[in-house]
A and B are shown apart, each in its own frame.
Chain A
Amino acid sequence: MTRRIRLKFFLVSAAALALCFFWGYAGLPAFGHGSSIYADIVNAISVPQRHITDAVTAVNFDIRGFDTLGEEFILFTSVLGVILLMRRTKDEPAGDHEDKAPGRKVPPVSDAVRVIALLLLAPTIVFGWYIVVHGQVTPGGGFQGGVILSSAPLLLYLCGSYPKVRGAAAPRLIEIAEALGAAGYIVIGGACVALGGMFLENLLPLGKAGTLTSGGMVPFINLGVGLEVSGGFTLILLVYLEELMEEKES
């Protein structure tokens, strides 16, 4: 189809589709009212039954924990896919790490960027771990903290210390950490079965609501997910920086 025919065809269909969207959304409950029964029940039982003050974490890692297992493996699979797609063929030699236009000298990293990146590095790591560990108390949790943690190698790269990235984030270790995080979730579920319950049943002692050790198995799952997510995103960064290349031998 030529571009104009395609555009016209699409616009007509999109108008009809917009009508369907309108019909669908017009039937929704009024904004701000009609909160769902599910939400009310979760709010009511989150502290008494599980001693978790962050209801979102209670849903993510306890009540609907199996969904989070699937989501975690989606991230795992996507990282595998990125590594696969970025693999280098044999006749493509490893390039420089700076992107050079021909005949242009790469300007050095500006001092302002370097200072700020270095200053932000330690707080980022601390903040990331804080969010991971406090998942069952305050908003946050494994996923959010993991992504914050994975921005730390990026800060190192930005301040031009590329060799330090290699030193700080050995690809082999990151891969192992990521796989351990992913497998850890399943191992925790299996441990629940071994302890006499169903898969992912929260059987550990629940602790006092509002402390770091509340929620039974949720702190462990938080750590596992944080490890997996930070490992996954760091791996993607390393793949792009050509650190983690799968050689395709012929």
Chain B
Amino acid sequence: MRLLPVLPVVVPLITAAALAVLTKLLPRAWSALIAIASTIATAAAAALLLRDSLQQPIVYWFGNWKPNGRMALGISFAIDPIGAGLATFAAVLTAAALVFGSKYFDSVENHFHALILCFLGAMCGFSLTGDMFNLFVFFELMSAAAFALCAYKTEDPGALQGALNFAVTNTIGAYFVLTGIGLLYARTGALNMAQMSEALASHPADKLVLVAFAFISCGYLVKAAVVPFHFWLADAHAVAPSPVCVLFSGVMVEMGLYAVARIYWAVFNQTLHADIASLRILVVSIGAATAVLAAIMCFSQRNLKRLLAFSTISHVGLMTIGVGLFTAGGLAGAAIYTLGHGLVKGGLFLAAGMLLHRFSTVDELDLHGRGRSEKWAGFVFFAGAIGLAGLPPSGVSAGDDLIHEAARAIGYHWVRWISFFAAIITSAAVLRAACRVFFGWGPRREEQPGGAPKTQESRETDRSQQRTPMTMIAPAVALVVAGMFLNFTPRLKRIATQSATEFQNSEAYSARVLRAAPKRTPTAPAPAPENPLFGISAFACAALGAACYLFSKSFRSTSRWITRPLSVLHGLHSGHVGDYVAFLTFGIAAFGLVCVLCLR
């Protein structure tokens, strides 16, 4: 137990250092194999940590700098099932992405493997740590690797622009996180989360604490791409290589939400607990706005990768609602939703990558009917649409059940309708795209303006393959099938609810980290009963909507009233980084003002 907690971080990083030197000496297949082996080892280590932390959450002090009674000096890893589960999930997705990418890039690898391994190491460290500044350091490492990976296709001028938007907005978010950490350190004199929590709990929250909370949350919410911080995500996904998009959508964005949940429950809960009703309204309304807005943007996209990116934003909005309910059920639902959505979305992005590899375009209208030969990609797309709608037994449906039950328990009945709307629209968009590409249904051209303009997409591979290799098909199918049947995992909901209850027990967290108090098992409430009607009706409505759109010209022309507001919305997503930063400033200022004026 002296080495295991460190392995998920250290194994990918040291392999990255080795590969950076050896990548020219080894044949490409070897370097891919070493990277995949290292990822599998990381996943195994993280899974072992998950198993151990289910019995007793682990606290690990680096350098053996244990708290000496007054003060925690060193850096600690405070590993609980949700964090370890997120790290395992990140490793599994990375393995799938690397397997996909092994035959995908024709050119010399150019440090692709080293960068992805650094990215994985950072994500594992991010989800395991219990120290505020260490969280920030791993956040920065994650961002540095992500910027480089996003700009990977350097011959495409759009790639640099998308990566630049990504880099500028996320760096501003990181600046606000750092400012918040500085304010809290000045107030409490500590950087360990548990220590900060105890130091803050002794006084009621004043303006400094509220401003620090607002800044740190907004900084991490920029990474989580909620409205109005979400503009960078579509641009970044449109230009990043498909294996990298899997990681971005599947786990990097959700890490931002995890950070917000972690810092609230580990640091601010004991001092902000009285204001939890107002915080609920704030976070749930942000999540609802994100879900609705992104779903509308999703349906009006032509570029498949941008379509999937907007559907990610919409689903992250639903996860934000889950986290923002501030109950154990909501958090557990968000955790399971992350797993289910990440698996399905990963598979969908890999399928989009297969189409790009074969046809050198991901524009839905250009691909009209051409996908008939790609049976596996079609299967993944249709299965993905089912998974996104939340048809049981998918992971998304399990998450939805828990979130709706938690919302109903505190009186937020309207959450179910927002979730319904987002599920229908995003699933209908994927279904529409799949039918158009793989069956050739629907019109060949857009009749009315107001949709997204056509985007250029450069090839990711240099030769158009006649056959899609099995290394590309297998990960896509495996991911989407796992996402569709996730609810068959035994006692998934019970474990999630129990872990979430423990996550939200701030006093026990502080006692465990600072004084090594043993854990008392709380009794988790019985998980919500399954409600299959929601998922089935969502999917049925989605199928109906997609069919109407494709086949009925009158349906398309009656929606003319939506053209004007839709074009305004598209105009806002202009690609100009100044616009994005203006919205970011507005978002942080609004969040800060609400926090200071409405919470006390």
Contacts and interface: CB of A to CB of B under 8 A. Distances in A.
A and B touch in the complex (CB under 8 A): yes
Interface in B10-37: 10, 13-14, 16-18, 20-21
Contacts of A83: 110-111
Interface in A153-177: 175-176
Contacts of A42: 73
Interface residues of A, number: 71
B140 interface: yes
A222 to B, nearest CB: 16
A20 B189 CA distance: 22
A183 B17 contact: yes
Contacts of A27: 183, 187, 206-209, 211
A154 to B, nearest CB: 23
A120 interface: no
Interface residues on B, range: 35 or more
B148 interface: yes
Contact of B137 (A28, A71, A198, A202): A71
A54 interface: no
A198 B64 CA distance: 6
B11 to A, nearest CB: 9
Interface in A4-32: 6, 9-10, 12-14, 16-17, 19-21, 23-29
Interface string A145-159: 000000000000000
A81 B150 CA distance: 10
Interface stretch (A60-68, A97-105, A205-213): A60-68
Contacts of A26: 207-208
Interface stretch (B289-297, B319-327, B371-379, B590-598): B590-598
Contacts of A16: 589-590, 592-593
Contact of A24 (B133, B212, B572, B578): B212
Contacts of B2: 193, 197-199
B186 interface: yes
Contacts of B220: none
A248 B579 CA distance: 34
A13 B63 contact: no
B139 to A, nearest CB: 10
Contacts of B118: 73, 76-77, 80
Contacts of A249: 107-108
Among the interface residues A81, A175, A189, which one has the most CB atoms of the partner chain B within 10 A? A81
A38 to B, nearest CB: 5
Nearest to A14: B585
- Provide the main secondary structure of the chain B interface: helix
Interface string B196-212: 00000000001111111
Contact of A201 (B63, B190, B582): B63
Contacts of A14: 585, 589
B479 interface: no
Interface string B126-161: 000000011001101100110110011011000010
A14 B586 CA distance: 7
A215 to B, nearest CB: 13
Contacts of B110: 83-84, 87, 246, 248
Of all A-B residue pairs in the complex, the 9 with the closest CB atoms, nearest first, are A27-B208, A81-B148, A24-B211, A36-B189, A20-B592, A16-B589, A70-B137, A183-B17, A13-B586
17 contacts: A6-B579, A13-B589, A14-B589, A24-B215, A27-B209, A62-B63, A63-B74, A64-B133, A74-B141, A83-B111, A84-B148, A84-B152, A85-B154, A87-B110, A197-B2, A198-B61, A248-B107
